[in-house]
């Protein structure tokens, strides 16, 4: 763990006009990863693949076949020494491999696991909460700290109540991370997003089962690159300050505001999950009591904390400052990092508002919101989101956001826009 290099950078305009109290800053956290040569040392990584085996997975027949192949590919991507298991999900949860607990991956166990996956067949209903509970129980049998699951489903959570699912999510929150994938178009974006958000994972649509193998392989490879589990952002704020929000803003928007747990006097922890060699941006917005002109105040101290068995370890720290000035040249200066991510957040919100309006049958409002989104995506160079938008609206002028809703919108395109709308681009160099 000692070979890990984390850096924190703060981007902000620290100058505020007299009487102002809102302080905004972008916090860039970069992990250089392990500096030790060879493959990353992952002391205690565990992986569970949860495969939907409900009856609907047989329609079309190729869906279950593709799901098996994808699971096999994911198993192949598990490194030697990693503990793993496969869960078959229906209206109940069943352990498909191994017979109980977790198995340590090697050539032989991977082969046996793939053979077990070959025997998965679709039958019964869908109770995702049950699947998550079993995954947690299996993780608990091991000592591993880097716990990650992949969840695949094709349908809605019909065989348990919303409350049961919520309780199961709550049980798993902070214990393992989970990437969710919906195959086809019969599943609910909001349902899977609730799980992936709470469990600090990603959510995405795989419209064609043929795409599953590549996707599973990529997810598992990304997970294998994680080296540190349970890293939190600790945010200290001055007395009488209020935190408006703390959000991850890159690579995708995740609002962490409500995820705060008290850590120390005037400080709270926000979960960030596991880290490999990567860089993420966070946006913190704090209201402080305005100070006198010329006064400098620390508006927030942002620390990156790794919780280890021997206690918390500070990996890095950044200061968000406020300095009151009468000089307008200083206080009106726009920080381009803050402005950029304010734009990306507005873009994601405009898409959600547009999709909501369309569901409510208000096509005019939908076109207006999605048009605004097109303009924002165009302006910020978010080509990925621009492409997704173009599958839902006909773009007449991207710079002004003049669009027309497509006469026929493919369901999968709308779901793809929905799941991927939180993806952001970083500030141009």
Partner 1 sequence: MGSPSGTCPECRTPVDGGDNFCEACGWELAVAAVSAGAAPLAACPQCRPSLISADGYCERCGRKAPAGRDHIELGLRGIAGVTDRGLRRHRNEDAMALALTHTPTGRAAVAVVCDGVSTSGHPDQASLAAANRAVHVLTAKLRAGTAGEEASTSAALAADSAVRSLAGQSANPPATTYVSGIVAPIAVTVCWIGDSRAYWLPASSPASARLLTRDDSLAEELAAAGVPAEADAIASPGGHVVTRWLGADAGTPRPHTTRFEPPGPGVLLLCSDGLWNSRPGAGDLAQLAWPRAPGDLPGAAAGLLAFALGAGGHDNITVVLIAVPPGHTGAGTSHRSTPR
Cβ-in-10-Å burial (0-12, 13-18, 19+) of 325 comes to middle
Residue 10 interacts with partner 1 (CB under 8 A)? no
Pair 74, 217: CB distance under 8 Å: yes
Residue 325 interacts with partner 1 (CB under 8 A)? yes
| Binding test (CB under 8 A) with partner 1, winner from 224, 288, 306, 370 | 288
Residue 391 interacts with partner 1 (CB under 8 A)? no
Q: Name the residue nearer to partner 1 (CB basis): 70 or 297.
A: 297
Residue 132 interacts with partner 1 (CB under 8 A)? no
Least Cβ distance, residue 317 to partner 1 (angstroms): 8
| Binding test (CB under 8 A) with partner 1, winner from 22, 118, 143, 327 | 327
Q: What 8-state DSSP symbol labels residue 21?
A: -
Residue 376 interacts with partner 1 (CB under 8 A)? no
Q: Name the residue nearer to partner 1 (CB basis): 326 or 363.
A: 326
Closest CA to 68 of 55, 77, 59, 57: 57
Which range in 48-56, 139-147, 181-189, 291-299 contacts partner 1 by CB under 8 A?
291-299
Residue 20 interacts with partner 1 (CB under 8 A)? no
| d(C-alpha 183, C-alpha 205), whole Å | 6
Closest CA to 119 of 211, 179, 51: 51
CB neighbours of 360 closer than 8 A, spacing ≥ 6?
Answer: none
Which range in 115-123, 140-148, 205-213, 231-239 contacts partner 1 by CB under 8 A?
231-239
Residue 237 interacts with partner 1 (CB under 8 A)? yes
3 state DSSP class of 2: coil
E strands in 276-327: 278-287, 296-308, 311-325
Q: Name the residue nearer to partner 1 (CB basis): 193 or 321.
A: 321
Closest CA to 64 of 180, 155, 165, 156: 155
Site for partner 1 in 294-313 (CB under 8 A): 294-299, 301
Least Cβ distance, residue 55 to partner 1 (angstroms): 59
| d(C-alpha 277, C-alpha 248), whole Å | 17
Residue 373 interacts with partner 1 (CB under 8 A)? no
User: By rule CB under 8 A, what count of residues binds partner 1?
Assistant: 20
Pair 144, 229: CB distance under 8 Å: no
Q: Residues 240-269 vs partner 1: string with x where CB under 8 A?
A: xx------------------------x---
Torsion of the alpha carbons at 396, 397, 401 and 406, rounded to the nearest 10: 20
Residues that bind partner 1 (CB under 8 A): 237-241, 266, 288, 291, 293-299, 301, 319, 325-327
């Amino acid at each position: 763990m000692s070979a890990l290099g984390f850096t924190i950078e703060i981007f902000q305009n620290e100058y505020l006009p007299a009487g102002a109290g809102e302080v905004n800053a972008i916090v860039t956290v970069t992990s250089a990863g392990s500096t030790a040569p060879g493959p990353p040392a992952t002391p205690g990584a565990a992986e569970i693949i949860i495969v939907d085996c409900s009856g609907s997975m047989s329609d079309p027949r190729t869906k279950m076949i593709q799901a098996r192949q994808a699971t096999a590919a994911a198993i192949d991507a598990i490194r030697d020494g990693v503990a793993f298991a496969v869960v078959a999900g229906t209206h109940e949860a069943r352990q498909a491999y191994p017979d109980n607990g977790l198995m340590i991956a090697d050539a032989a166990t991977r082969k046996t696991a793939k053979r077990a996956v070959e025997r998965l067949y679709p039958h019964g209903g869908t109770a995702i909460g049950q699947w998550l509970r079993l995954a947690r129980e299996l993780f608990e049998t091991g000592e591993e700290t880097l716990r990650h699951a992949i969840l695949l489903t094709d349908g809605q959570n019909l065989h348990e109540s919303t409350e049961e699912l919520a309780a199961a999510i709550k049980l798993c929150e902070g214990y393992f991370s989970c990437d969710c994938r919906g195959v086809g178009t019969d599943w609910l974006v909001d349902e899977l997003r609730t799980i992936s958000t709470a469990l600090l994972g990603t959510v995405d649509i795989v419209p064609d089962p043929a795409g599953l193998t590549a996707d599973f392989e990529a997810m598992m490879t990304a997970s294998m690159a994680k080296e540190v589990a349970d890293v939190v952002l600790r945010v200290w704020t001055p007395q009488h300050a209020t935190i408006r929000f703390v959000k991850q803003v890159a690579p995708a928007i995740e609002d962490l505001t409500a995820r705060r747990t008290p850590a120390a006097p005037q400080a709270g922890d926000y979960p960030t999950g596991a880290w490999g060699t990567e860089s993420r941006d966070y946006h913190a917005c704090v209201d402080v009591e305005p100070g006198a002109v010329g006064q400098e105040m620390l508006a927030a101290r942002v620390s990156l904390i790794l919780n280890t068995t021997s206690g918390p370890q500070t990996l890095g720290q950044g200061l968000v400052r406020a300095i009151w000035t009468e000089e307008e040249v200083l206080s009106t200066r726009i920080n381009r990092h803050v402005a950029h991510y304010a734009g990306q957040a507005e873009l994601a919100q405009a898409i959600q508002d547009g999709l909501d309006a369309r569901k409510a049958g208000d096509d005019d409002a939908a076109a207006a919101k999605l048009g605004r989104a097109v303009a924002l995506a165009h302006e910020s160079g978010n080509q990925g989101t621009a492409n997704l938008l173009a599958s839902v609206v006909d773009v007449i002028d991207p710079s002004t956001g003049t669009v027309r809703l497509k006469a026929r919108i493919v369901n999968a395109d709308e779901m793809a826009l929905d799941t991927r709308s939180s993806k952001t681009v970083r500030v141009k160099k």
